[in-house]
Structure 1
């Protein structure tokens, strides 16, 4: 684990991770995160230890949006196998096409590890290769390895500090959202701030959209995660 912290280049870190997971029977792996934080976030890879043929295919056919082995991290908090992710959803035609490409690479299954951080941060480490299934103890080891590797990769790629609500929202939007957390209605917030109820709604809708939240409650939850309440 000390070797991970000693890495000063992403390429070195990627090689170290590849050697580490090879001991568990995995020959291909990747690490990345959904950026920017919010509803329109897309997977961005810090490194990929993939065969050249898969890298080219994945890029040329823009498979990332249909790669449920990665997007499933939105719904999971613990490591899961690719087959588990496949069984948990009704695949779209494009997801079916993606899985066909995966199996044609000779990959029958894999393991993905979700990494959740403050303020809605969402990252992933995924690996595949061979027919071996990791035991619960091996999964625990791989999870620790994945978390440390992701953290180091994030820093090396210059993403050590993520934007939080204070960076994304105006002072007025923050103020309105905090009052929502206090249980106040739009009318009450407007009276407190001396603005119209419709203006309060505008500020709250803007705050929700900027944070990628579906509801005001979700938006306020993000404030709480960042300690901004």
Structure 2
């Protein structure tokens, strides 16, 4: 990518400090890959926890509501591709089947009929994708030009989202354990029984059991070791 203007726009995306700013700069960069609209999605995968996703969209609002209401994300072949592959996917009719054909039709209706998606997989924990769309087909010459630039934009968006979006995704599922609940679990992680923990903390066995029951309830697990494992996942026990 040698276009100085494109380089400036990519660098500008990196300077984003809020999601609103990131979205605006993503949309401003879309024309550099000869597209009119852009969408960025990031997926967080943590052990023992359901996968969670966050979407930053420049697509038409009505289409976004339709996409969410109909659960298109679970049928969208571009999403499936980007969850499992590292190469870009250019949208075409053959990638849709009976369960997803409606997505193609609705995309065309909203001027999103032609485009491509670029995944970024920095680790197994965080995977992202950017989709860029327009209402006209691409020529072969255009495709040769836009792929390198789109890969740079996808990487830049991934880096910024790691700073701006991922921390709030992690925080949103962080359990609100009391200091005593967490303290008891830390001793459990060291192999201590309720009786030993009670002696260390100078409280009764029943009180230790009470704190551990509360921790298990908040974490949504049924055993002490599952609770410890989740706390390790959240970084609460190291």
TM-score bracket for the superposition, by shorter chain length:
0.5 to 0.7
Conserved? CA contact 1:70–1:126, under 8 Å: no
Aligned to 1:126: 131
1:80 and 1:70 mapped to 2: Cα distance? Answer: 10
Where does 1:1-229 land on structure 2 (aligned, <5 Å)?
1-37=10-46, 41-45=51-55, 47-83=56-92, 87-88=94-95, 91-93=97-99, 95-133=100-138, 134-159=142-167
Judge conservation of contact 1:32–1:150 (CA < 8 Å) in 2.
Answer: no
Change (3 A) 1:123 1:72: same
Instruction: Please give the secondary structure, in 1, of the residue aligned with 2:147.
Output: helix
Number of aligned positions between the proteins: 165
Please give the alpha-carbon distance, in whole angstroms, between the structure 1 residues aligned to 2:111 and 2:44.
30
Cα separation, partners in 2 of 1:108 and 1:50, compared to 1, 3 Å: closer
Kept after mapping to 2: 8 A contact 1:154/1:160? no
Inter-partner Cα distance in structure 1 for 2:58 and 2:124: 29
1:160-183: CA deviations, max 9, x gaps? 998xxxxxxxx9xxxxxxxxxxxx
TM-score by length of structure 1 reads 0.61
Cα distance change, pair 42–97 in 1 and its aligned pair in 2 (3 A)? farther
1:14 and 1:120 map into 2 onto residues whose CA distance is 23
Superposition CA RMSD, Å: 3.2
Following TM superposition, the consecutive aligned residue runs of length 4 or more in structure 1 with deviations greater than 3 angstroms are 37-40, 158-162
Q: Which has the larger radius of gyration?
A: 2
Shift of 1:59: 2.0
The aligned residue for residue 193 of structure 1 is: none
Gapped regions of structure 2 (runs ≥ 5): 1-9, 171-188, 190-225, 230-238
The separation in 1 between residues aligned to 2:76 and 2:14, in whole angstroms, is 30
